[in-house]
Structure 1
Amino acid sequence: MLPLLPPGTATVGAAPAAHRAAPPRTPTAGEAGMARHLDAIRDDPPRLRVFFRRLPKGADLHHHLAGAVRTEHLLRLAAEDGLCVDATMTAVPPPCGSGTRPASDARRDRAFHDAVVRAWSMRDFPPGGDGHDHFFATFGKFAEVARRHRGKQLAQVANEVVAQNQFALETMVGPVPEGAEDLAARTGWDGDPARTHRRLLAGGGLDALVTAACAEADDADAEFRAAARCTTDRPEPGCRLPVRCVSHVLRGGPPALVFTQMALGMRLAERDPRFVGVNLVQPEDGAVALRDHDLHMRMLVHLRAAYPGARLPLHAGELWPGLVPPRHLRSHIRQAVTVARAERVGHSVGLRHEDDWRDTARTMAARETAVEVPFTSNAQILGVRGADHPFETYRRFGVPVVLATDDPGVSRTDISGEYQYAAEAYDLSYPELKDLARASLEYSFFSGGSLWSGNPTRHGYHRVRACRTSWPGAAQPAVACRALLAASPEAAIQWRQEAAFHRFGSLVGHGGPAPAL
């Protein structure tokens, strides 16, 4: 077992009792049996892999659609569209002139196929190598593919999410990028969020962009249903996956574009239920992202007041000593939580390098600001793993923690691997794994009331009164519980997961099939 904390932090980082996670709970008889089964197979990699693939694993809440598509699938889409690949392994539009090759050549030239896959993903990247630059460079290399066919990409990803025994997905996409660039160029940025917002609204410019984004989403939905055969008598599994989109904002862009994308995403979230909010993407350590960080927080403060129905998960603290000057390690997570009032933060590995980090952790615990943890991504991009990772620090302070994949296509990983890593690196018990899966639904942005009462991170997962006497996976829910499940998409998804846990407990120890959704 790896040590859980860096030397010297075990006592100085102690959380006050009011802000600690719930104490270990007494497992039920079924959970105790599953815990024994897990302990028995910890040194049996094949069986352990089966266990974690079958384990119900909630939702993926930190997920970039383009980066989630399997690289081989992107290459097939490139071939179908007649795209070309240049000498830098970058996809470019046809015709394929000098210095380029048709992407379709990858179908019959294995060496070319493998070279593209390596350039577009972390495949064969040296373990322990500095993967930061290679990781982020992949997106530019397959960008010409990713900007096309959002529906086909989602069909592949949704099937994989369901196969991983997950029940919902929040994924980041970039709505109408060319339209946003055009509106930003026409509107400009004068340093004042309120004035710039008024100019975006003047003459219906922003509303026209929202309408275009809704139409784009309609087209993507239609393409998804066709690709996944959702209207046939043999629909693919992804057809039944609840999906919500988070509009991404390119934090490395000029202020006019950043503000326009923020406003578009927030206004879109209040108009179209398929969208829930916005997030800042691109490397947090980029020169423009660092220069404009405080400005981006100011923009968000204004727009959050204008669009209170939009949700805000933020990449924050995806930084590490040596990657940026020390001054940039001091407050990014704190500002995301206390200035922008983010409802979830992503990565946030730099916590213990920030000023007043304990106060930030206590604030996150009190507000139930969840942290999204993609272990593989943190290791590949920043080299942060094991005892260096603040995973256990967040948990000790009572901060809600959810596991995520980030860009599983680029990283060549899946959510089962993330759960398995957590169990092995931090010696997590079966009930702890189960509660991580529950947290990923509890802190999702799906609408409606929760199946759980109070603050489950601090007080444990106890069903609300309406469903207290009903047992998922067993008898028909009580009338009041059925009413909650019918009215609340979130509670309905949580109920499905609890029923899957019931089936999982009865099947996994006997080599039965993976629990169905």
Structure 2
Amino acid sequence: MTHRTRRVLLPPPLALVGALGLLSGPGPAPVLATGTGADPGARAALAEARTAARLEEVRRDPGRLRDFLRRLPKGGDLHHHLGGAVPTESLIRLAAEDGLCVVARTLTAVRPPCGPGARPAADARTDAVFRTALLRAWSMEGFPPGRPGHDHFFATFGRFAEVIRRHRGRQLAEVADSVARQHQFHLETMVTPVEDAARGLAAATGWDPDPARLHRALLAGGRLDRLVAAARAEADAADAGFRTASRCGTPRPAPGCRLVVRRISHAHRNSPPEVVFTQLALGMRLASRDPRFVAVNLVEPEDGAVALRDYRLHMRMVAHLRRAYPRARVTLHAGELRPGLVKPADLAFHIGEAVEVAGAGRIGHGVDLVHEDGWRGLLRTMARREVAVEVPLTSNAQVLGVTGADHPFPVYRAHGVPVVLATDDPGVSRTDAGHEYARAATVHGLGYRELRDLARASLEYAFLPGRSLWRGNPTAHGYRPVPECAAAPPGHASPGAACRRLLAAGAKAAVQWRQEVAFARFERRHGG
């Protein structure tokens, strides 16, 4: 039986627009489908079951599976580096437009003029061999599959660093479009605010092992606040460039204009301790004052000599600053390691310290889990506190050579720890969210309902303000709507008055509702 469907517009009030913080303004309101006749719950259950069967039907057909997962609503990307997300072809184009040069021996982009041993990046427009060499040097393109690419992966960033310092707005516009085209609604991307100025302040302040004294020294004379103002101005300029490049606010906006974008400030863990502390303090203060910035993280290879030496010191820094800035959130790269990469003692505590000492709300990678001291107890703690793990399956395979049964992805899930799929550096890895969901479906055998819950988790554990659409601990008890929105399956019918108030009150529930509307459409399309 078929039923006519009417569409109801839910106009976003100004409070909701402000809470969402869309780079482009409110845009069109989400469309809510509601039907007549059969009970919405029964229709939704039937469409869900048929969609799950459709996934099993296409599972062994790569082309049809890819199309299914590309169209699947996939929530948000919570572990994402803006600098590593720009497609390599775009980096080469930008380098050529800016007149940059490339050092022939290292294939590193540098400022002009092109001296001995360097050539214009623009040569890649006509020299196919040179262009291919850049693609391979600046990404994982052509890297032998099945071989850990740790050194090559991390080396790419230094080679194109001069390119990504420029045109941040254009880069964000291209990345946002690619995320939106993957049917995602939220992006938390990692950036380094005013890096040179932060390093300058760190050098002027120097190191003090007492974090309270060091923090006071940074604040003295308004120095850290001037850094915050500079970082906000830098973000303003990037946002303006984004809006222009994406035609936001015009009759023909790009897809990325409707994406909710937040920034995570990161510190470079292989830098001197005064630099790490200054970058963390800047990120925390930004997250307390500017809603575009939501959290801090630590980046660079976790197995670096300085990162290993100072790991526990960094965790204590974060713990101290969390007390000073309770509104700021923390997500930490932790456990991006494997046996043989570091000595066994360094596999035994990184995730635990990130959770227990630094108080991270999420961790990234978490690959060396079973080598941690007391890892089963750690899993219980993470499940109880709902500390989510950001899992970029492709990155873990490329960088560490860890995949399949060797990956702790199913272990986290089996112990009730929230898990979200992520892309990490999709430009470098030559991947996207659809590929990550395909890996989860094919390598780990997940079905439709499990993939849908992973997508829901990526919004449930996003650093967005406001109440959730889901009650309690959804990882442990399933995704059950809160009482205000429980009259019908979310997204399958127009919300009642109480549910509308919830959606208007905060960004999280509003974005989650958008995803549920998308799921309803997806299941009608694939489940008939």
TM-score (norm 1): 0.92
User: In structure 2, what residue type is equivalent to 1:293?
Assistant: Y
Counterpart for residue 204 of structure 1:
222
Match of 2:164 in 1: 146
SS of the equivalent of 1:61 reads strand
Q: Cα distance, 1:82 vs. partner?
A: 1.1
Counterpart for residue 96 of structure 2: 79
Give secondary structure in 1 for the equivalent of 2:298. strand
**Which of residues 36, 50, 57 in structure 1 aligns to 2:53?**
36
Task: Give the whole-Å Cα distance in 1 for the aligned partners of 2:270 and 2:102.
Answer: 25
Q: In the aligned structure 1, how far is the partner of 2:222 from the partner of 2:516?
A: 46
Give the deviation of 1:509 after TM superposition. Answer: 5.6
Hey, what's the Cα distance between the residues in 1 that align with 2:501 and 2:207? Answer: 48
The answer to whether the aligner puts 1:261 opposite 2:279 as a matched pair is: yes
Q: Does 1:155 align with 2:156?
A: no
Which residue number corresponds to residue 470 of structure 2? 452
Shift of 1:130: 2.4
- 2:128 is the counterpart of 1:128: no
Identity of aligned residues (%): 67
Tell whether the 8 Å contact from 2:423 to 2:432 is kept in structure 1 after alignment: yes
What is the alpha-carbon distance in structure 2 between the residues aligned to residue 447 and residue 266 of structure 1?
A: 16
The answer to whether the 8 Å contact 1:471/1:477 transfers is: no
Deviations 1:148-204 (CA, angstroms, capped at 9, x unpaired): 121111100000001101111000000000110110001011211111000000000
The structure 1 residue matched to 2:81, chosen from 57, 64, 68, is 64
* CA distance in 2: counterparts of 1:335 and 1:230, whole angstroms: 43
Q: Using the alignment, how far apart are the partners of 2:312 and 2:492 within structure 1? A: 52
Give per-residue Cα distances to partners, 1:190-232, cap 9 Å, x unaligned: 2111110000000000000000000000000011111111132
In structure 1, what is the equivalent of residue 333 of structure 2? 315
Distance (whole Å) between structure 2 residues aligned to residue 474 and residue 294 of structure 1: 48
Q: Does 1:294 align with 2:312?
A: yes
Indicate the SS of the match to 2:266. Answer: strand
1:459-478 pair list within 5 angstroms: 459-478=477-496
Say what the alpha-carbon RMSD is for the aligned residues.
1.0
Report the Cα distance in structure 2 between the residues aligned to 1:387 and 1:476, rounded to whole angstroms. 43
Name 2:187's counterpart in structure 1. Answer: 169
Gaps of 5+ in 2: 1-43
Residue of structure 2 in register with 1:24 after alignment: none
Deviations along 1:475-514, whole A, 9 cap, x unmatched? 321011111111111101100111101100111367xxxx
User: Equivalents in 2 of 1:67, 1:173: separation in Å?
Assistant: 10
- What is the letter of the counterpart of residue 36 of structure 1? A
Q: Of residues 232, 240, 246 in structure 1, which corresponds to 2:250?
A: 232
Q: Which residue of 1 aligns with 2:26?
A: none
State the one-letter code of the partner of 1:222: A
Alpha-carbon distance in structure 1 between the residues aligned to 2:383 and 2:423: 23
Name which of 418, 425, 429 aligns with 2:443. 425
What amino acid maps onto 1:286 in structure 2?
G
Could you tell me which of 229, 232, 235 is aligned with 1:217? 235
Could you report, residue by residue, the CA deviation over 1:280-308 in whole angstroms, capped at 9, with x for unpaired residues? Answer: 00000000000000110111111000000
CA distance in 2, matches of 1:208, 1:404: 34
2:79 match: secondary structure: coil
Match of 1:332 in 2: 350
Q: 2:500 aligns with which of 460, 466, 482?
A: 482
Alpha-carbon contact 1:472-1:496 (below 8 Å) kept? no
CA distance in 2, matches of 1:192, 1:266: 18
Other-structure match for 2:25: none
C-alpha displacement at 1:54, in angstroms? 0.5
1:497-512 equivalent positions in 2, closer than 5 A: 497-508=515-526
Q: Quick one: distance in 2 between partners of 1:99 and 1:222?
A: 37
Query: What TM-score does the superposition give when structure 2 sets the normalisation length?
Result: 0.91
For 2:250 and 2:119, the matched residues in 1 are separated by 37
